[in-house]
Amino acid sequence: MKEYHVVIVLDFTCGAGSQVFWLKQKEFEIASSDISRSMLEIVKQKKLKYLKIKFLEGDFRTVHAASFDAEIIIFNAIG
């Protein structure tokens, strides 16, 4: 995604955070959203202190987020 000048990524359905940590390893700035408060708690517990990740609780259809270079929704979130 570097060839497209993507720096900031919003993961609309982060779940337990697998893709969040992968994206962070690739040096993207990350914001994550999930409708499930319990899933957000899991990913926050996994989060290392040095990772700057913003977490938003809400449905990806209605969550209010800032501007991003790319947004992802993966796995069965839409199904």
How far CA 53 is from CA of 31, 76, 78, in Å, comes to 5, 23, 23
pLDDT in the model for residue 50:
52
pLDDT in the model for residue 45:
79
* String of DSSP letters for 39-50: HHHHHHHH--TT
**Which domains are seen in the chain, by residue range?**
2-72 (3.40.50.150)
Among 65, 69, 67, 48, which Cα is nearest to 13's? Answer: 65
More confident of the two residues 64 and 15: 15
- What SS3 state is found at 21? helix
Distance CA 61, CA 7 (A): 23
pTM for the predicted model, two decimal places: 0.72
Beta strands in 1-79 (DSSP E): 8-11, 29-34, 53-57, 70-72
